[in-house]
Amino acid sequence: MMKRATFSAPLCATALLALVAVSFGEAQAQSAVITGKVTGRQGEALGGAIVVIDELSTAVATTTAGTYTLTVAPERTKGQTVSLRARYIGYSPSVKQVTLTPGTQSQDFELKFDPMTLDAVVVTGVAEATERKKLTFAVGNVDASQLNQVPAVSALGALEGKVAGVRLIQANGAPGGEPTIRLRGATALTSPSACSTQPCPSTDVSGPLIVVDGTISHYSLADISPQDIERVEVVKGAAASSLYGSNAANGVVQIFTKRGDRVPDGKLAVTVRNEYGQSFRPKQIPITHAHPYLTAPAAGTDPCGNTLVQGDFIDAAGCLRGPGSVPKPKPDGIADVPYGDYPHPVNFDVQRDLLTNGAYYTNYVSIGQRKGNTNYNVSFENTKQNGVMLLLKGYNRQNFRLNLDQALSPRLDLSAGGFFGRSNNNQVDQGSGSPFFVAEFLEPYVNLFAKNPCTQPCDSTPYAAYIPHQQPNAVNPLYVLANEQINTDRTRYSGFAKATYRLTDWLSFEGHYNYDYESSNYARVRPKGFLQATGVPTSGFLIKTDSGGRAFNTGVTATGVRNFRLGSWNVRNTTRAAFEYEDQTASNFTLTANAFTVVATPEFNGTDFSQLTPGSSDATIRSKNYYVVSGFDFKDRYLIDGLVRWDGSSLFGPESRWQTYYRVSGAYRLSQDFHLNGIDELKLRASYGTAGLRPPFDAQYETYAVVGGVPKKQTLGNTALKPARSAEMELGANIDFLGRFSLEYSYSRKETKDEIMVVPLSGASGYLNQWQNAGTLLGHTHELSLGVIVADKPDFSWRVNVAADRTRQKITQLNTSPFLVGPGGYGGNNSVLQDFLIAPGETFGVFYGTKIVRSFAELCDDPAKKAAGCGPGLTYDPANYIVNEDGYLVAKSTYHTLGERFLTYVNPAGKKIVKIGDVNPDFNASFTTNVRYKNFSAYALVDWVQGGNIYNGTRQWAFGTGLVDRIYDQTGKPAVDPAVNCVGADADAAHCPYSTGKKPTGYYTALYNSINPTDFFVENGTYVKIKEINVSYNIGRSLFEKIGVGGISGIKVGVIGRNLFTFTKYSGYDPEVAGLTGDAFSFRWDGFSYPNFRQFTGFMEISF
């Protein structure tokens, strides 16, 4: 029998420790360890700098002291020479060649300040992360330091003025809204949408493709906190965006959120920021202070037995016109009777009653850390924006975000992130019938705060529904706001996971999965008993819409990076091949009840079931994409890039589903070959690429409308429909000189063919229209960016940046008859907004309508008049016409009479509908400046739009039935003295009242023109706007250490102003305005939208 060996526990532990020690020692002996310190230009430690070995993709962050330790595994330590690179935001990277050998070596870096951000890294549209100075096409890059100078309410609002060619329009000031973004020029020709009534409202024009942390986003950016954004990259056209295929002709905006990777190693960075302030109502739009009505000259009893007070409205017989009667105009029709003579309260600022000052605040907390192979960032934000509408609660949003990166091994990295957002918006209707609309028809004798008399149906509201002397369209907007509720609740969550595996030192693979979900619940309730302006109760209505969807994109990527020599040239090639799959679903269910049967029950079980109207839709969109992109860097100066993408989308039929897109680009860094005094960097670049646009979901299917219970054909499906194809050539130059100036110029020629448009069909087809490839749009854009460092000293710095652009676009081809189109969203009145002509050879964005004749020569442009005879002694004799006080040509026979009217223009082709304006500005320019003196800093953004027209539809609409516009007021014109003014041609009674230039109301009401466009309402859109100001003071760590308060890195306090002052001749609230739907840049149409407002806030930001 064998004896079992025994070992004591201490002996086992000793042996195990010895084995581990030996193994650890061997591992350390075989590993390469590089240590060192990274400092700035004044020797200050740069905590959070990244030190990386390019060939091995091995990186580490420095600590708060600027020190680092980078360990290379034994199996990767082969005595080879590698590039050790240190990088820090705002500094030029430094590279050292080191030999990887077992043991420890020290490498310190002193980085030079990079004021022009030449070495900023871009990843959008390229094969690998690329320094800006090595890009072969223009890419805008805006980091958090710029975006958070004045944090916007929406994610991309702070992009304004930061990148040339990027234009934002805040088309209205409604809380919870987001700006419309256009990169360079338009790519889509707006066309009538498929609908049952003709003409149709315009289709919406999509903006750029938005990508958030790799997630292709189809939902609102209003959900995302701008303070979560680390940086934004912008590629502005097909020459750069070809990588994204048939969905990228409008350009690409890629958002990267904070991940904690820029925090010094080992440090826990906590930021708490609170901002509070007020939103202030916009400027007052003046109204008339006089009316044209008959009034009682004295107190007494009228012929009908009514008691009169001096100034009461009366009729021609002298009888009282009570609150239930419309006032009677005087025989001369002149509005020169002051409302101040009215014996009851008057109010000349309805806007003051409707608009108020509302609270705004935001609370934000961010926690980030980088520790060894792990970094993360978690944040929470609460935002409240009441807006400036009385009785509305406005917009409230909460966000939560978590991002995490983990290096599992030297070759395997994992990244993940999640976002949750929730918002509620107590909102207001816009457009015709909205409070902004009805307020335009209220005359000064209307008291919005009067109570409802209970002799009529009483609903306990303090705001009178009944409007005295009822004029058409006049409604008390406060009564509507107090009784009708519109709310939208939104929920949004998204997440992603990404894994990167470096198979070898030159080949890596990446896989990712990105998910995005959104749901929205909209409810609009008008209760039973809701009163009309006449005091008559209604049955109310209820509308609820539940919409939502989810989208995911997933893919795999292989990237190879090789360095080799071509003769005496060092060459670096980066090639990436990828597969990407996208899947999107969208659903919508709407139920409308047109009448309640019981009061105080805002649910469908309290409605009349016989008046329910349901509607629903479901859509699924899928796409598969393959691409290969490759870039070559020869000697760090000759740069070549090429790309091919195969793109397939279910939005197209089998015949046209797969398309190929490509890009070829190159750049030459002349400053690497030629030394030019004062020139730091000089680069010439050129790029040519293609990208596409996708149609709406139903374009390939037949659609029907149910009319009277019977399906009626609407749109004929088109399975042969192709993507609109945008081909762009971009030429540009970058020059940085004298260490203070950075200049970038780009020229773009973009031609978009096969425009996707609705084309009317002949009656023989049985359908109204069909989506077809039916047009070509050609655009030319010039962009200029200039950065200037005025001063850069430790205690004082001053920077100025200018971003400017000019775009011109022309429709070069159209496979359908020319048509007029305009913004939608105005109920059944969309046909009156058809102001913009789509025709071959026409500039995109021009107004067409009625022009007022201003000279006799213009009158004789009419071929019919010219044929009849224009000239002295002829049918149309100049002696029979005169230019009146307003600059309009009128017939002498009507001049200074009740019947005086302007004449309408007919062009030499006999057309009455002619060009009356152009929305396209001469140029756009934005100026930003940053000034710092010791701990004080100031930032400002000024936006300048020169030229271009706006159509003031808000003003025109009120001319139809109201007499409220300021132009009606004739009290500013000289009073008529019969002894002086009524002589000669004006001696008779028909001329005398008008002899000093006073005009009757009918003269101005004619401008309404049945709400068809008239050049009187085309206004100059030039403006200069002080858009953002931030003045702050920073209290540094040293002060807190002196007073014995530890843990606080700094406190910043300051004041912020948004949308502060606008210098313009535009008569509306704000020249930064657009129609409710459609292309906001091509449809500068002011139509009863929520006005933009100014905002002042104070903030405190504490860093730990």
φ and ψ of 226, to 5 deg: -65, -25
Q: Are residues 741 and 890 in the same domain?
A: no
Structural domain contains residue 304: no
Using a 10 angstrom Cβ sphere, with 0-12 exposed, 13-18 middle and 19 or more buried, the burial of residue 444 is: buried
Per-residue pLDDT reduced to its tens digit, 17-76:
443 343 344 434 478 888 988 888 778 888 888 888 877 778 888 887 888 888 888 888
Across 733-742, average pLDDT: 92
- Residue 130: CB atoms within 10 A of its CB come to 22
Q: Are residues 106 and 222 in the same domain?
A: no
φ and ψ of 733, to 5 deg: -145, 145
CA–CA separation, 410 and 372 (whole Å): 12
Q: Are residues 833 and 743 in the same domain?
A: yes
Per-residue pLDDT reduced to its tens digit, 637-649:
999 999 999 999 9
For 732, what's the count of Cα atoms within 13 Å in the CB-facing half-sphere? 31
pLDDT at 196 over 60: no
Q: What is each CA distance from 76 to 31, 100, 601, in whole angstroms?
A: 8, 9, 73
Each residue of 981-1001: b (16+ CB within 10 Å) or e?
A: bbeeebeeeebbbbbbebbbb
Instruction: Name the band, by pLDDT with cuts 50, 70 and 90, for residue 869.
Output: very high
pTM across the whole model: 0.89
pLDDT at site 14: 45
Q: Are residues 502 and 519 in the same domain?
A: yes
CA–CA separation, 591 and 545 (whole Å): 7
State the DSSP code for 108. Answer: -
Comparing CA positions, the residue from 1051, 1033, 1038, 1053 lying closest to residue 937 is 1033
Residues with Cβ < 8 Å from 238, sequence gap 6 or more?
A: 248, 249, 663, 689, 690, 691, 726, 727, 728, 750
CA–CA separation, 339 and 345 (whole Å): 9
Say how many domains are in the chain: 3
Structural domain contains residue 549: yes
Across 955-974, average pLDDT: 89
pLDDT at site 826: 65
Q: Are residues 734 and 881 in the same domain?
A: no
Comparing CA positions, the residue from 499, 641, 648, 630 lying closest to residue 577 is 630
Structural domain contains residue 855: yes
For 311, what's the count of Cα atoms within 13 Å in the CB-facing half-sphere? 13
User: Domain holding 58: CATH number?
Assistant: 2.60.40.1120
Across 211-235, average pLDDT: 89
CA–CA separation, 340 and 518 (whole Å): 54
CA–CA separation, 30 and 877 (whole Å): 105
Q: Are residues 495 and 578 in the same domain?
A: yes
- Residue 841: CB atoms within 10 A of its CB come to 10
Sign for the CA dihedral angle at 593, 594, 595, 599 comes to positive
Q: Are residues 830 and 872 in the same domain?
A: no
Is the separation of the CB atoms in 365 and 999 below 8 Å? no
More confident residue, 351 or 790: 790
Q: Which amino acid is at 687?
A: S
Is the separation of the CB atoms in 619 and 218 below 8 Å? no
Is the separation of the CB atoms in 724 and 218 below 8 Å? no
How many degrees, rounded to 5, is the angle at CA 743 between CA 740 and CA 746?
170
Across 124-148, average pLDDT: 83
Across 949-978, average pLDDT: 89
> CA 678: distance to chain centroid?
39
Structural domain contains residue 369: yes
More confident residue, 940 or 1046: 940
Structural domain contains residue 871: yes
Q: Are residues 865 and 787 in the same domain?
A: no
pLDDT at site 360: 94
CA–CA separation, 427 and 523 (whole Å): 10
For 246, what's the count of Cα atoms within 13 Å in the CB-facing half-sphere? 28
Peptide bond into 199 cis (omega under 30): yes
Q: Are residues 817 and 859 in the same domain?
A: no
DSSP codes, 336-354:
-EEGGGSSS---S-HHHHH
pLDDT at site 511: 95
Structural domain contains residue 1087: yes
Q: What is each CA distance from 552 to 163, 253, 256, 945, in whole angstroms?
A: 30, 18, 18, 39
Structural domain contains residue 943: no
φ and ψ of 9, to 5 deg: -60, -45
Q: Which amino acid is at 408?
A: L
pLDDT at site 1040: 77
Q: Are residues 869 and 833 in the same domain?
A: no
Q: Are residues 834 and 870 in the same domain?
A: no
Domain boundary among 56, 86, 113: 113
Residues with Cβ < 8 Å from 311, sequence gap 6 or more?
A: 295, 296, 341, 342, 343
CA–CA separation, 348 and 398 (whole Å): 40
pLDDT at site 878: 95
Is the separation of the CB atoms in 232 and 252 below 8 Å? no
Structural domain contains residue 973: no
User: Domain holding 1079: CATH number?
Assistant: 2.40.170.20
pLDDT at site 687: 95
Domain boundary among 62, 93, 113: 113
φ and ψ of 1016, to 5 deg: -60, -30
Comparing CA positions, the residue from 977, 958, 953, 976 lying closest to residue 968 is 958
Sign for the CA dihedral angle at 1066, 1072, 1075, 1079 comes to positive
State the DSSP code for 303. Answer: T
Place of tokens 């009893």: 301
Using a 10 angstrom Cβ sphere, with 0-12 exposed, 13-18 middle and 19 or more buried, the burial of residue 710 is: exposed
Per-residue pLDDT reduced to its tens digit, 439-470:
888 888 888 888 776 655 555 667 888 888 87
More confident residue, 1018 or 200: 1018
More confident residue, 600 or 800: 800
Is the separation of the CB atoms in 346 and 340 below 8 Å? yes
Per-residue pLDDT reduced to its tens digit, 809-843:
999 999 988 988 877 666 554 456 678 889 999 99
pLDDT at 211 over 90: yes
CA–CA separation, 1089 and 28 (whole Å): 69
Residues with Cβ < 8 Å from 963, sequence gap 6 or more?
A: 288, 291, 292, 335, 443, 1001, 1005
CA–CA separation, 730 and 666 (whole Å): 11
H helices, E strands: number in the chain: 12, 58
Q: Which pairs with CB-CB distance under 8 Å and at least 24 residues apart come from 928-934? A: 928/161, 928/162, 928/800, 928/801, 929/798, 929/799, 929/800, 929/801, 930/149, 930/797, 930/798, 930/799, 931/797, 931/798, 932/796, 932/797, 932/798, 933/795, 933/796, 934/795, 934/796
pLDDT at site 821: 83
Across 599-621, average pLDDT: 91
More confident residue, 237 or 630: 630
More confident residue, 30 or 585: 585
For 81, the domain range is 25-113
Domain boundary among 59, 85, 113: 113
End-to-end Cα spacing for the chain: 71
Comparing CA positions, the residue from 527, 548, 556, 547 lying closest to residue 539 is 527
pLDDT at site 27: 39
Indicate the range of 46-50, 160-164, 679-683, 1015-1019 predicted with least confidence.
46-50
Q: Are residues 728 and 627 in the same domain?
A: yes
479: left (phi over 0), alpha (psi -120 to 50) or beta: alpha
Using a 10 angstrom Cβ sphere, with 0-12 exposed, 13-18 middle and 19 or more buried, the burial of residue 456 is: middle
